[in-house]
């Protein structure tokens, strides 16, 4: 396929109010893309749009506050986006939530909350915008998985399950849609410096001490600047890469999972205890 052309296209971006999503919005606008920005944080969306509109007055930038946990309402969200932007050339499913705790410490409702936002919303958004992507020549679909879509560490049963699901779903779509002229990319961010650890929920059975220790350990891994992560992602999107590994940790653990798929957990635990 030819390289993806950002200039003049329209990108629909979820999780756009902060972190990687905010950096992606900035990078997409700088490359000439009109934007439909989606996030449950309405104030954050307004801030991003207010920053970008004076810098890029020729671009159409719309904001769509929405909680992706309301999966059944996603078709109505898509209708609102398409009224503002009849032509969509890029869909970036970036939004995600985290939940700490072993599987035994989680309730089924907590597990389902993660799956609804991280996976079912990705499926519903892809379904809703696929006709628009198909009607645009050389369009692109980007689904953000995670480092934990490459490995399944202890304490991440819900989050890792959702991100492995995104990985599998997107892999299938790549085989189905690429022959139709729609590029498909799966993104695997490593430790990017965002608020995901600080905003993560914890399972009902997790103690306060465990929560604090888990947040400290998780935040210690978040090193890569979001702007750098966004640049890596957009570089991969432009080149229609099927997989984009973001950060040295993602590349290392991808290799580890492929070389020693049955024993990487022991290696990770030894590394954690030695740090």
For residue 165, which of 125, 123, 197, 108 has the smallest C-alpha distance? 123
Q: CB burial class (10 A; 0-12, 13-18, 19+) of residue 25?
A: buried
- Residue 220: strand, helix, or coil: helix
Backbone CA torsion sign across 32, 36, 223, 115: negative
- 159 is annotated as an active-site residue: yes
CA atoms in the 13 A half-sphere facing the CB of 211: 15
How many other C-beta atoms can be found within 10 angstroms of the C-beta atom of residue 229?
26
Give the Cα separation of 273 and 275 in Å (integer).
6
Conformational region of residue 9, where left means phi above 0, alpha means psi within -120 to 50, and beta covers everything else: beta
* Catalytic residue (one of 159, 164, 188, 218): 159
| Paired tokens of 75 | 């078709």
Q: What are phi and psi of 254, to 5 degrees?
A: -65, -45
Query: E strands, the chain, where?
Result: 10-14, 34-39, 61-65, 90-93, 99-100, 140-144, 183-189, 201-202, 243-246
| Paired tokens of 143 | 């689904």
Question: Annotated catalytic sites, by residue?
Answer: 159
């Amino acid at each position: 396929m030819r390289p993806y052309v950002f200039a003049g296209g329209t990108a629909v971006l979820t999780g756009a109010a902060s972190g990687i999503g905010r950096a992606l919005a900035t990078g997409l606008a700088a490359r000439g893309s009109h934007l439909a920005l989606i996030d449950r944080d309405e104030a954050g969306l307004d801030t991003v749009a207010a920053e970008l509109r004076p810098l890029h007055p020729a671009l159409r930038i719309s904001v769509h506050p929405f909680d992706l946990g309301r999966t059944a309402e996603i078709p109505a969200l898509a209708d609102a986006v398409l009224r503002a932007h009849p032509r969509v050339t890029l869909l970036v499913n970036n939004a995600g939530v985290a939940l700490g705790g072993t599987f035994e410490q989680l309730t089924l409702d907590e597990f389902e909350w993660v799956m609804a936002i991280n996976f079912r919303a990705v499926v519903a958004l892809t379904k809703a915008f696929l006709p628009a992507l198909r009607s645009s020549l050389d369009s692109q679909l980007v689904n953000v998985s995670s480092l934990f879509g490459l490995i399944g560490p202890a304490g991440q049963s819900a989050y890792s399950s959702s991100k492995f699901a995104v990985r599998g779903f997107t892999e299938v779509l790549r085989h189905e849609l690429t022959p139709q002229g729609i590029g498909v990319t799966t993104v695997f961010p490593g430790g990017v410096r965002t608020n995901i650890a600080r905003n993560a929920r914890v399972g009902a059975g997790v103690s306060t001490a465990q929560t604090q220790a888990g947040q400290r350990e998780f935040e210690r891994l978040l090193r890569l600047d979001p702007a750098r992560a966004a640049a890596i992602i957009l570089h991969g999107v432009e080149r229609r890469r099927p997989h984009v590994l973001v950060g040295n940790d993602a590349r290392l653990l991808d290799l580890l999972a492929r070389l020693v798929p049955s024993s990487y957990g022991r290696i990770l635990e030894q590394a954690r205890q030695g740090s």
